[in-house]
A and B are shown apart, each in its own frame.
Chain A
Amino acid sequence: MTPEMEKPILPILKELQGQHRCITPDMIVEVAEASGATVGDVYGVATFYSFLSVKLLGEHVIMVCKSIPCWMKNSDLVVKTIEQELHCRVGETSEDGKFSLLAVNCIGACDQAPAMMVDGQVYGDLTPEKVLEILSQLGR
């Protein structure tokens, strides 16, 4: 049995994610030692939540909602527009390391479908033109 954890792991990992844009194996070992948890426990947390990543993410993380209400309003076109503009596919990071493109489950903006989140901010009622404008504002 895992001994009772002394320190909550999630807030530490969230901070690391924010600072380094990913959680590396070294960080996992460090957090495990500092918190009294096993490496497995920490890895378990790091891979459980969609806002944590063990892969290095880009400077800007684009999360396009793929759930049914957004899909019904053509979120596929939003994804395709971004893929073409950034030359990377869903789950990948652009070559310059600036953008990661993810397709995520419902972000609760179904009244503005199709919607996406970029760096924590919500953009709704998306059209290809609007998407390109947002990308260019982000330094594309």
Chain B
Amino acid sequence: MPQKRVVLKNCEIIDPRDIDSFVQRDGFQALRKVVEEMSPEEVIDEIKSSGLRGRGGAGFPAGLKLDLTRRSPAEEKFIICNADEGEVGTFKDRYILEHDPFSLIEGIAIAGHAMGARKGYVYLRQEYSWLLLDGLQNAIDQAKGLVNIEIEIQVGAGAYVCGEETALLESIEGKRGDVRYRPPFPPSEGLWRKPSAVHNVETLMNLPRIILRGADWFSAMGTERSKGTKVFSVCGDVANPGVYELEMGSPLRELVEELAQAQDIKMVQVGGASGRVVPYEMIDTPLSYETVLGAGGVLVFNRSRDVVELARRTIEFFEEESCGKCTPCREGTKRMVEILERLEHHRGRAKDIKLMGDLSETMMLTSLCGLGQAAPNFVVDTLEYYRADYESRIQPV
């Protein structure tokens, strides 16, 4: 299967600084249809039956999230776009924001109409603030009067965990990005305790496409539980790093070997630092929620790479980015870095591998949010596929 540009259909075709070039490619047609011809319930039904799921990694049904927020009784509600793309190796939302900010605005307006929000926020990571002036803010200004919603950009200040939706809400409220206990979930109590739907950039990009071409068209693409397409960013040991869009269910081999031109692959991590590891022997694994996906960051490692060193660097990242609120994540990442440093320097102890397994299990089961729950993924997977690489670092007694 070749690339299928649905989400990215305007990218590198329209001028992202000129709204007319967007309007000429059916821009705002879906929004017009929604406002003039459809009730909010009909919009939600269409999104529900399309099978669209969240593209930030968790895969929650997008229509259901909108419906839950719509049903929460409150005068004021918020639609929030999560543009805090901090996952290591992930830059697909950056590419979207760079090349087609208008479709995102249309998606936010459609979602806002469906759930009854008059105000939307885009939470943009500080690292992407260079996208603002010429890009997103300019696009929002140009779209004023054409969309029925007020959109405000909130720029973060550098914190990976703020990509987690409740930490993101805390940060918009101007506080530390500490994760909230759930329930209540954002659709009932979100920003300023008002019902809020937090959606990834790519999820919202899909809404105008679904409205314009219909749920049946959309759900004809993909696998049973993964409909539509997925946008991936590929980097690491590849000749052509970049952003590619494929139909859900496409084999990983196509993405990394054919499109990104990787050679001599040892393994691929799908979903960034928190993603799952696929050894080369399983390179034909289909990309979907049923198998591996995450937010779409794909890291390719060739045979020269040392698994234990990569593991240490991966866990070090989580140790730094842990918000520190819950013990399993805060302490677990720290202890795991200690163990991995020992192993890296061939000073591993006999019980280290078992200890890492226990730590991983505790973190995955008891951490408060996805950061701590997913942090051990690289270690768990490489312990399964490359156990000898760890065992050879244990010092004989």
Cα–Cα, bound, A53→B228 (Å) = 43
User: Which 10 interchain pairs have the tightest Cβ spacing?
Assistant: A8-B174, A50-B158, A49-B157, A110-B235, A51-B158, A10-B174, A111-B241, A48-B176, A106-B88, A108-B91
Interface residues of A in 1-59 (CB under 8 A from B): 5, 7-14, 41, 44-45, 48-52
Segment of B120-128, B214-222, B338-346, B349-357 in the binding face: B120-128
Question: What are 29 A-B contacts with C-beta separation under 8 Å?
Answer: A5-B174, A7-B174, A9-B174, A12-B174, A41-B175, A44-B176, A45-B174, A45-B176, A48-B176, A49-B158, A49-B177, A51-B158, A52-B157, A52-B158, A68-B299, A69-B236, A105-B88, A105-B320, A105-B321, A107-B127, A108-B85, A108-B127, A108-B128, A110-B233, A110-B236, A110-B297, A111-B235, A111-B242, A111-B243
Q: How many residues of B contact A (CB 8 A)?
A: 45
Cα–Cα, bound, A71→B305 (Å) = 12
Q: What is the CB-to-nearest-CB distance from A3 to chain B, in angstroms, rounded to a whole number?
A: 13
Q: Which residues of A contact B (CB under 8 A)?
A: 5, 7-14, 41, 44-45, 48-52, 67-69, 71-72, 104-111, 113, 117, 120-122
Q: Answer whether A71 and B157 are a contact pair too, CB < 8 Å, given A105-B88, A121-B130.
A: no
Q: Which residues of B contact A (CB under 8 A)?
A: 85-91, 94, 125-130, 155-160, 171, 173-177, 233, 235-237, 241-243, 273, 297, 299, 301, 305, 310, 313-314, 317, 320-321, 323
Whether A51 and B126, one on each chain, are in contact in the complex, defined by CB atoms closer than 8 angstroms, is yes
At the interface, is chain A mostly helix, strand, loop or mixed? mixed
The residue in chain A whose Cβ has the minimal distance to the Cβ of B302 is A72
Q: What is the CB-to-nearest-CB distance from B174 to chain A, in angstroms, rounded to a whole number?
A: 2
Whether B129 and A120, one on each chain, are in contact in the complex, defined by CB atoms closer than 8 angstroms, is yes
Cα–Cα, bound, A104→B160 (Å) = 11
The residue in chain A whose Cβ has the minimal distance to the Cβ of B305 is A72
Cα–Cα, bound, A105→B317 (Å) = 7
- Which A residues are CB-close (under 8 A) to B129? 120
Q: Answer whether A69 and B127 are a contact pair too, CB < 8 Å, given A49-B157, A49-B158, A104-B158.
A: no
**Interface core residue of A5, A50, A51, A110 (most chain B CB under 10 Å):** A110
- Which B residues are CB-close (under 8 A) to A72? 236-237, 301, 305
- Which B residues are CB-close (under 8 A) to A109? 91
Which residue of B233, B314, B321 contacts A68 across the interface (Cβ within 8 Å)? B314
Cα–Cα, bound, A9→B126 (Å) = 16
Whether A71 and B174, one on each chain, are in contact in the complex, defined by CB atoms closer than 8 angstroms, is no
- Which B residues are CB-close (under 8 A) to A49? 126, 156-159, 177
Q: What is the CB-to-nearest-CB distance from A116 to chain B, in angstroms, rounded to a whole number?
A: 11
Whether A71 and B313, one on each chain, are in contact in the complex, defined by CB atoms closer than 8 angstroms, is yes
Cα–Cα, bound, A107→B127 (Å) = 6
Q: What is the CB-to-nearest-CB distance from A67 to chain B, in angstroms, rounded to a whole number?
A: 5
Cα–Cα, bound, A120→B130 (Å) = 6
